[in-house]
A and B are shown apart, each in its own frame.
Chain A
Amino acid sequence: MISSDVIRGYNDTIILYLLIEHDSYGYEISKKIREISDEKYVIKETTLYSAFNRLLKNEYIESFHKDETHGKKRTYYRITEKGKQYYHDKCVEWELTKEVINRFVKGGEL
């Protein structure tokens, strides 16, 4: 299980990846993250919604409401152009980070 400290800088990236595919809402996103990571990363509710708030404030995503069958109002999220750009920048950043850290990482043996 990945610790949330390590993954902290990339929660936004992970969420945006899913929103690029299609608009989605809270629970669906956390489910997808669990599935795609093979249960290796289970995002916490608090982490997820803090990320939504951050992404909204930075205008990387926008929210809208859809009425569900049980009469509940669900908040859906949609990625913006600015968000797509930010996602791209983060991907580039990750490639660089990966390359640099790898230079200091021995393959698991000491």
Chain B
Amino acid sequence: MDAIIDYLDNIFSPLPKSQQITQLKEELLVNMEEKYLELKQTGKTENEAVGIVISEFGNIDEIIEEFSLDFETESQHSLPVITENEAFSFIAESKKSSKIIGFCSSLFIIGAAFLGVILQLSSEQLLFNLSEGTALFVGLTAIFIIFITAVVLLTLNDKRMQRYQSIDQGAFKISPEAKKTVEQSQAAFQSTFVTMLIIAIALCVLSTLALILAPTFNVDTTIFGLAVFLAVIATAVFIFIYYGGQRNSYNKLLKKAPSTAQKQHKDPLFSAVTAIIWSLAVFIFLIGGLIYEQWQISMYVFPITAILFVAVVLIYAGKSKNQKRL
């Protein structure tokens, strides 16, 4: 039997020591050992049994050919194989990452709402007799703090997710067993995802109601309507990013290229940028209205931003299409 083990070690020595190859070697050994034992039982001598097992082994080139197809890529190096454990820790970490990105994005929007509320309250002398100037200062400081917090969180998060770069870029192979469990997990997640998506969309629709209804009470309540609108939007944005990010992680593992439309909506970075742009728009709107009392003019911020936003979306789509072609 030792002779067989030595033979196998010898034959396999020029091959790469990947998990796949090592597993294959184990299996071949189990197979050959069984054959050897049966041959001995039928009365063959040690030498005869070993000789027969080795002679019926075959050509290692067949193995090289079959398995080197798995290693074929544009790069010279063999691709890392993702195990089941690695796949699920990637999913868990992506979930956490999406949560952070979603949280930061919502925070920006809430910050804008907060600023608006503070300014409105101060102008109505409802807030400890703070002057509008002080209120503006407080609001801006809050936004600044939010900004710093977000930058720190996002940078740390990015660092943490760095180790999954190969998965992000698709430069990996996943074992069939791992793939199966991931697919099962994704199927289970799908229904949750659809539910949350519907809830988020419903929230967006409901939030516009707040915006429309608010001015009907009082011109001043417009701001509170706007704040409610933004708060609800912030929640919806969080849902989009959190669940979209998770869906993304499954797609990445299973190498399903998302359609461009999907990619835009579900890409956490894109959603974050969207949130920032719209918060800025709201911010400018508030400044124009409260500081310069020119609500009717500052309202135009929104259609202008919408047009610019569509332009950004188209550019982004064009760029990612080009990147894909490369």
Contact = CB atoms under 8 A, between A and B. Distances in A.
A26 B58 contact: no
Interface stretch (B26-34, B196-204, B225-233, B289-297): B26-34
A97 interface: no
A47 B177 CA distance: 22
Interface residues of B, number: 21
A98 interface: no
Contacts of A57: 176
Size range of the interface on A?
A: 20 to 34
B62 A50 contact: yes
Interface of B: 24, 27-28, 30-32, 34-35, 56-60, 62-63, 65-67, 176-177, 180
B65 A26 contact: no
Which secondary structure characterizes the binding site on chain A? helix
A57 B179 CA distance: 11
21 contacts: A4-B58, A26-B27, A26-B30, A27-B30, A27-B31, A30-B31, A42-B56, A44-B57, A44-B58, A44-B59, A46-B57, A46-B58, A49-B28, A50-B67, A53-B24, A56-B176, A57-B176, A62-B176, A62-B180, A63-B176, A75-B27
B30 A72 contact: yes
B67 A45 contact: no
Interface of A: 4, 26-27, 30, 42, 44-50, 53-54, 56-57, 59, 62-63, 72, 74-75
A54 B31 contact: no
A26 B177 contact: no
Contacts of A46: 57-60, 62-63
Given A26-B27, A63-B177, 10 more contacts: A4-B58, A44-B59, A45-B31, A46-B58, A46-B60, A47-B62, A49-B24, A50-B67, A54-B66, A62-B180
Contact of A26 (B31, B62, B180): B31
A27 B30 CA distance: 9
A100 B65 CA distance: 30
A46 B177 CA distance: 22
Nearest to A73: B30
Contacts of B59: 44, 46
Contact of B34 (A27, A53, A54): A27
Nearest to B27: A75
A62 B5 CA distance: 28
Given A27-B34, A50-B63, A50-B66, A45 B177 contact: no
A54 B180 CA distance: 17
